[in-house]
Structure 1
C-alpha cells in the first residue's frame, strides 16, 4: 500500500497547527512566577511554580514533536515517509493516522 503524500502532508500540517495553538494558549502558564505579597503564602507560590514547571515540560515535548514533524516532512520530500527507519518495512497506515510523525513500525519501536 502506497502512502498518499497529500494526505500525509495534511496530517502533518494539522498536527503542527494543533501544537502551535497549544503552545500559544499555554504561554501565560510558562511565564515566571512572581512573588505576590498579597497571596495566601508560600504554598500558593510553590503550587504556581510547580504548574509553571509542568507547563514548561509540556512545551519542551511540543517542541520535540515539532522537530519530528520537520523530519517527517523531510522524509516525505525524499519519498522515505512511511517506512521504518530500522527495518525498512512499511509503517501501517493506521499507525501513521494516529501518529503522522512515526519513524518506526510497532515491532521496532517496541524493541527500543
Structure 2
C-alpha cells in the first residue's frame, strides 16, 4: 500500500474514533446525571450504573483503537507497515483499506479469535 494513502486512512480513522470518544464522554456525563436523579424512587437505580459500565467499556475499546492506530503509524516509520507483526507475511491492500491499523493477516486474526476465550 502506498504510504501516503496509509497515512490518510489512519488520520481519517483517528478523527472518527476521537469523535466517537467525545460522544461516549457525553453519554457518560448523561449517565452520571441520570444516576443522581435515580434516587427519587421512580426509576431503577441500577440502570444508570449499567449504562455507565457500558459507556466505560466503549471508551476503553475506542482508546485501544487509538493505540492500534499509533502502532500503525510507528510501523510506517519503521518501514514495516503492511506486513503481519506475527509472521511477516504481507497484509493485502484491501484489508488495510478496511482496517488501516491491521496488524495480522485475515487468517492469523481469525486464528486468534478462535482462541480468545
TM-score by length of 2: 0.84
Deviating more after overlay: 93-102 vs 65-74: 93-102
Unpaired segments of 5 or more residues in structure 1? none
Partner residue in 2 for 1:90: 90
Q: Which residue number in structure 1 is paired with residue 21 of structure 2?
A: 23
Higher-helix-fraction structure: 2
**Residue 27 of structure 1 aligns to a residue in which SS?**
helix
Q: Does structure 1 residue 35 correspond to structure 2 residue 27?
A: no
1:81 aligns with 81
Aligned residue for 2:11, secondary structure, equals helix
Contact kept, 8 Å, 1:30 with 1:53, in 2: the verdict is no
Q: CA deviation at 1:55?
A: 0.9
**CA distance in 2 between partners of 1:61 and 1:90 (Å):** 26
User: Mind listing any 5+ residue stretches in structure 2 that lack a counterpart?
Assistant: 113-117
TM superposition score normalised by structure 1: 0.88
Deviations 1:20-76 (A, max 9, x none): 0111112122233533244613x1x21121111111100000000000000000001
Distance in 2 separating the partners of 1:99 and 1:70: 13
